[in-house]
Every structure is written in structure tokens, then in C-alpha cells.
Amino acid sequence: MKKEKIVLTYGTFDMFHVGHLRLLNRLKNLGNKLIVAVSSDEFNEIKGKKTLIPYDQRALIVEHIKCVDMVIPEHNWEQKVSDIEKYDVDIFAMGNDWEGKFDFLKEHCEVVYLPRTENISTTQLKLELNKFLDIYEK
């Protein structure tokens, strides 16, 4: 009989902020073990995302967060089913901005969408940084 409940999530985790931390803590509270798949630089390129922090550093930051039990690389969209099977995942969870996008995984495990922390996101931080740089450069 399986004793622990395993939770799996995915993300880029660029410019780590309190919203990431709060989400990861809420994800950990869903089970006993939290596995975080951090998007590789190559996969971010495929998605058209430019990160400020390289994969190795982003993964290291996430790996050292108390609530995170394991970090794995995310190389492509298709790996989610194989990760669920490989790590015997009970719950696949993401922020609610992804609501419905991963419902196809319900045949493999429970799928949960949690609310994001309001008024903070990496996209917002990057926009603010760009505004600051524009003003600074003038």
C-alpha cells in the first residue's frame, strides 16, 4: 500500500518571487512529496520564452526550497504522462491560469488548479524592470 501522496508541478521559475514560494507551499500541502519540473532553457526557447536566469541556477534555487522534495528538468510538453507514471504521481497541480489545459491528465491522476498570488508574476516583474530600464537609460 502506498504511504505517501506525490504532487507534481511544472514551471519556468525565472526571477523567483513570493508568488512562486506561496504556490509551492500550497502544492506541498496537497500531499507528502512535491516534485517540481523546471523548464529547461531549450524548452523555454521552443515556447518562445526568454529567461533571465539559466536552468541550472533556477533548478538550484527551487531545489533548496524547504517544501520541494525533488527537482527534475522539463524538456517538452509531452513528458507529463511519462513523469506521472515514472514518479507514481497522485496529483498534478498548476496555477489556475492553466485551468483546463491539463484536464487530459485526469485519466492518470488527480488534476488540481490553485489560485496564484494576486498582484505578482514574473511577467509583471519583467515589465516593471523594462519600464525602469527605459527611464534609467534616458
What pLDDT tens digit does each residue of the chain (138 aa) get? 567 899 999 999 988 878 889 999 999 999 999 999 999 999 999 999 888 899 999 999 999 999 999 999 999 999 999 999 999 999 999 989 899 999 999 999 999 999 877 776 666 655 666 665 666 666
Supply the pLDDT for residue 1.
58
Instruction: Give the integer Cα–Cα distance in Å for 122 and 55.
Output: 15
Spatial distance between the Cα atoms of 51 and 80, rounded to a whole number of angstroms: 22
Burial of 37 (0-12, 13-18, 19+ CB in 10 A): buried
Clarify whether 101 is annotated catalytic.
no
Q: CA–CA distance from 34 to each of 28, 43, 122 (Å)?
A: 5, 22, 22
Write out the H or E segment, with its range, that includes residue 111.
strand 110-114
49 tagged catalytic: yes
Model confidence over 83-118: pLDDT tens digits? Answer: 999 999 999 999 898 999 999 999 999 999 998 777
Q: What pTM did the predictor assign?
A: 0.84
pLDDT of residue 16: 82
- Among the options 47, 86, 101, 106, which is catalytic? 47
Q: Write phi, then psi, for 11 (nearest 5 degrees).
A: 180, 170
**Active site residue: 28, 33, 49, 106, which one?**
49
pLDDT in the model for residue 51: 87
